[in-house]
Structure 1
Amino acid sequence: MGTRASIQLQDSEIREIQAETGFSHNQIVRLYSRFANLDKSRNGSLSRADFLRIPELAINPLGDRLVQSFFQENTDINFRQFMQVLSRFRPIKANPEKNKLNTREEKLKFAFKMYDLDGDELISKNELLTILHMMVGTNISEEQLGSIADRTISEVDDDKDNCISFQEFVKAMERVDVEQKMSIRFLH
């Protein structure tokens, strides 16, 4: 890809990204254009600040959490990493084996990480409350939020450790159409 965002993608890079993510050639080219527009420093990578300039994320109450999901560490991300994260939001096709990044399990892992603020592989009541606050702001009282968090933990926490593990999360989400709810329609 080179160090400048203005450099065009090579066909071989597009084919590799297609195989890895399941995006079409045209989708990759269009998303690269969007990536390049976000890359204000023109260094071929995006920072957290670049993401926070996206209007849809700026108005989303979970925008900060979504942006954090793109970054495994405190480093900027390149186009390929950008596409890997986006691939988790593609609708799952009849043959999901083509894209191992876009399975029900990967979508559930991503959703779980949105709640697991400290990365300890458990969702605590405090983490649940923090996310609920992000989602509803001041529209619900502290007492109501506490009640929702308590009820959620008690209904999902099979091993009674007052936290939700990934396995418990998966079980709780069995009847939820995660494939539909965590899909974004990308450019054709």
Structure 2
Amino acid sequence: MGNAPSTLTQYDIEEVQEHCNKLFNQQEIVSLYQRFCQLDRTAKGFISSDEFMSVPEFAMNPLAQRLLKMVDGLNFKDFVGFLSAFSAKASVEQKAALIFRVYDTDGNGKVTFNDILEVLCDMTGSFMSNEEREAVLTQLLQEAGYTRESYLIPDDFVKIFANSDTKMEVEVPVD
């Protein structure tokens, strides 16, 4: 599996399965590898941010710039590891951990009012004013038992995500 894309061996597939906690079966790993090779246009063994932006669904995501910080330069194993949070078999904790990383842009292990406000701004763009966003977020936090001065930790995201109906799943097409 080295630097340049090549054929996956059974050992490679099993290694990738272990890395992603067996959330993808062998067929799905092979399909993901084919997609990885398509995205890795220069066959360097990793996907650049420009190559990620060539995926329309990714480019259209209002959080694309935040996600790019997480995915730029991923090799195949880490690419599958990143995608494993989107597996239907992923636990609430795995999904919440990914969402937490999206919000915790400075990586300090805490999500503040301003962190959430930045994400909300990315998601709403010019459809809401800063004042409207702040008012909505303040009310939402109050309803959840938090204040503007509170900060959220990963466990808070697990609790919030466990109590929501949010689906964060991607189906891997198998040839």
Tell me the alpha carbon deviations over residues 40-82 of structure 1, each in whole angstroms, 9 at most, x when there is no partner.
22111112222122111111111122222235xxxx2211111
Partner of 2:50 in structure 1? 49
Residues 117 and 14 from structure 1, CA distance in 2 versus in 1: closer, same or farther, beyond 3 angstroms? Answer: same
CA–CA separation in structure 1 for the residues paired with 2:115 and 2:132: 16
Partner of 2:77 in structure 1? 80
Contact 2:53 2:59 survives alignment (8 Å): yes
Partner of 1:95 in structure 2? none
Question: Higher relative contact order at CA 8 Å, sep ≥6: structure 1 or structure 2?
Answer: 2
What SS class does the counterpart of residue 185 from structure 1 fall into?
Answer: coil
Q: What is the total number of aligned residue pairs between the two structures?
A: 172
Matched, 1:90 2:76: no
Runs in 1 of length 4+ with deviation above 6 angstroms? none
Residues 168 and 24 from structure 1, CA distance in 2 versus in 1: closer, same or farther, beyond 3 angstroms? Answer: closer
State the Cα distance separating 1:157 from its structure 2 match: 5.3
- TM-score normalized by the length of structure 1: 0.81
Stretches of structure 2 lacking an aligned partner (at least 5 in a row):
none
CA RMSD in angstroms comes to: 2.1
Contact 1:157 1:168 survives alignment (8 Å): no
Stretches of structure 1 lacking an aligned partner (at least 5 in a row):
93-101
Residues 166 and 19 from structure 1, CA distance in 2 versus in 1: closer, same or farther, beyond 3 angstroms? Answer: closer
What SS class does the counterpart of residue 16 from structure 2 fall into?
Answer: helix
Contact 2:138 2:148 survives alignment (8 Å): no
**Alignment partner of 2:125 out of 129, 132, 137:** 137
CA–CA separation in structure 2 for the residues paired with 1:4 and 1:165: 38
Partner of 2:169 in structure 1? 183
- TM-score normalized by the length of structure 2: 0.86
Percent identity between the two aligned chains? 31
Contact 2:33 2:76 survives alignment (8 Å): yes
**Alignment partner of 1:119 out of 74, 95, 107:** 107
CA–CA separation in structure 2 for the residues paired with 1:159 and 1:129: 13
CA–CA separation in structure 1 for the residues paired with 2:148 and 2:64: 31
